């Protein structure tokens, strides 16, 4: 298969590495920036283009859209015009998603929004154990995902990329990124009560809200979610309380902790592959490779991709509901 990577920044380069790791696939790239094109050519030995119009003179089996979130809709629409299946990184802005969703359905075109965390071995194990009923009936979930924004791209200033913009700010982006896997396992809530605000000064990101909090009501239980980009030590910590026991995950560990009255605390290990150089050791490259493999399997008709535009749009609406709750001081019920 032949893929065009649209955007050769951090995520675009990662998708090139993913496809190279999966072998037997031709990869080419497009970026407006000459330095990024040169880097991709030299580092990965791929052909690049200085314009999208130049690139699409060639035939591609799929597009990989890895541009900043506020540009996603541009290339999704181009993919629809060309009737080329596409993979797109996680959404954070609702730019014509209803129209894009409808047209993709009418064309019966594969549109695969990212669901990266669902491919993390810890998340897969959590899904398996929850489905087995190991903790019984869930009563509450607490989850904190925290990072420090300047650590995202240590090679450039925060002000130089999209996470410094209010609409595409780092914390705002991570809310749907995390909710995508949470709703895949636990489903959608009936209401949300939320807060968001700026709590500290980060040079280059003066205009963003750096922390989000959400109480997601599932009627039977509540998910208490905290997302921030001010945690100096990158953190992902999960606690699930149930009628039979508890489950804990700290992403610094290569195991889940599960407590039951019968057995006490047990460790359920999983294998965590290496991280790419320059990234946090817990951001395993394998989950991105597995995500691309799932997309290729869907292209070949061998399996369904784990996410779709309908789910992606609905997750994005949870972010919007959280923000509406903060702005109106009300609980927002999900339609």
Q: Calculate Rg over the CA atoms of the chain.
A: 20
pLDDT above 80: residue 283:
no
Give the model confidence (pLDDT) of 97-154 as tens digits: 999 999 999 999 999 999 999 999 999 999 999 999 999 999 999 999 999 999 998 8
- C-alpha span between 282 and 254 (Å, rounded): 9
Mean pLDDT of the chain: 94
Residue 279 has a pLDDT of 58
Phi, psi at 94, each rounded to 5°:
-90, 75
Under a CB-based contact definition with an 8 Å cutoff, are residues 169 and 71 in contact?
no
Give the model confidence (pLDDT) of 256-280 as tens digits: 999 999 999 999 999 876 656 655 5
Band (pLDDT 50/70/90 cuts) for residue 25 is: confident
Give the model confidence (pLDDT) of 195-224 as tens digits: 999 999 999 999 999 999 999 999 999 999
Residue 24 has a pLDDT of 76
Q: How many angstroms separate the Cα of 271 from the Cα of each of 121, 127, 134, 312, 313?
A: 7, 16, 20, 28, 32
- C-alpha span between 121 and 105 (Å, rounded): 31
Under a CB-based contact definition with an 8 Å cutoff, are residues 249 and 122 in contact?
yes
Helix (H, G, I), strand (E, B) or coil at 241: strand
DSSP 8-class letter at 275:
B
- C-alpha span between 297 and 185 (Å, rounded): 22
Q: The whole model's pTM is what?
A: 0.93
Strands lying side by side in the sheet with 2-6: 47-49, 26-30, 2-6, 62-65, 86-88, 111-113
> Residues with Cβ < 8 Å from 237, sequence gap 6 or more?
143, 144, 248, 249, 250, 251
- C-alpha span between 159 and 203 (Å, rounded): 8
């Amino acid at each position: 298969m032949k893929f065009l990577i649209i955007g050769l920044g951090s995520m675009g380069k990662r998708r090139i590495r993913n496809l190279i790791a999966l072998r037997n696939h031709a990869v080419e790239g497009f970026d407006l920036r000459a330095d990024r094109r040169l880097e991709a050519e030299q580092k990965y030995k791929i052909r690049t283009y200085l314009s999208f119009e130049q690139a699409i003179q060639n035939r591609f089996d799929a597009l990989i859209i890895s541009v900043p979130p506020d540009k996603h809709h541009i290339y999704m629409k181009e993919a629809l015009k060309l009737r080329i299946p596409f993979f797109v990184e996680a959404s954070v802005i609702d730019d014509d998603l209803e129209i894009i969703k409808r047209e993709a359905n009418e064309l019966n075109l594969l549109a695969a929004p990212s669901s990266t965390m669902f491919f993390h071995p810890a998340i897969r194990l959590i899904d398996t154990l929850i489905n087995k009923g190991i903790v019984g009936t869930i009563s509450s979930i607490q989850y904190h995902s925290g990072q420090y924004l300047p650590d995202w791209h240590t090679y450039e200033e925060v002000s130089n990329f999209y996470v410094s913009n209010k609409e595409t700010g780092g914390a705002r982006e991570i809310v749907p990124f995390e909710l995508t896997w949470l709703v895949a396992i636990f489903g959608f809530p009936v209401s949300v009560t939320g807060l968001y605000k700026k709590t500290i000064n980060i040079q280059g990101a003066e205009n963003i809200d750096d922390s989000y909090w959400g109480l997601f009501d599932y009627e039977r239980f509540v998910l208490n979610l905290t997302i921030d980009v001010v945690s100096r030590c990158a953190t992902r910590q999960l606690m699930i309380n149930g009628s039979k026991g508890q489950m804990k995950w700290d992403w610094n560990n290569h195991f889940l902790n599960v407590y039951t009255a019968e057995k006490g605390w047990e460790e359920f290990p999983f294998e965590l592959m290496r991280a790419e150089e320059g990234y946090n050791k817990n951001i395993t490259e394998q989950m991105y490779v597995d995500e691309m493999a799932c997309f290729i399997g869907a292209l070949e008709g061998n399996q369904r991709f784990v996410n779709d535009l309908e789910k992606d749009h609905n997750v994005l609406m949870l972010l919007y509901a959280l923000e509406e709750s903060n702005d109106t001081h009300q609980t927002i019920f999900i339609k």
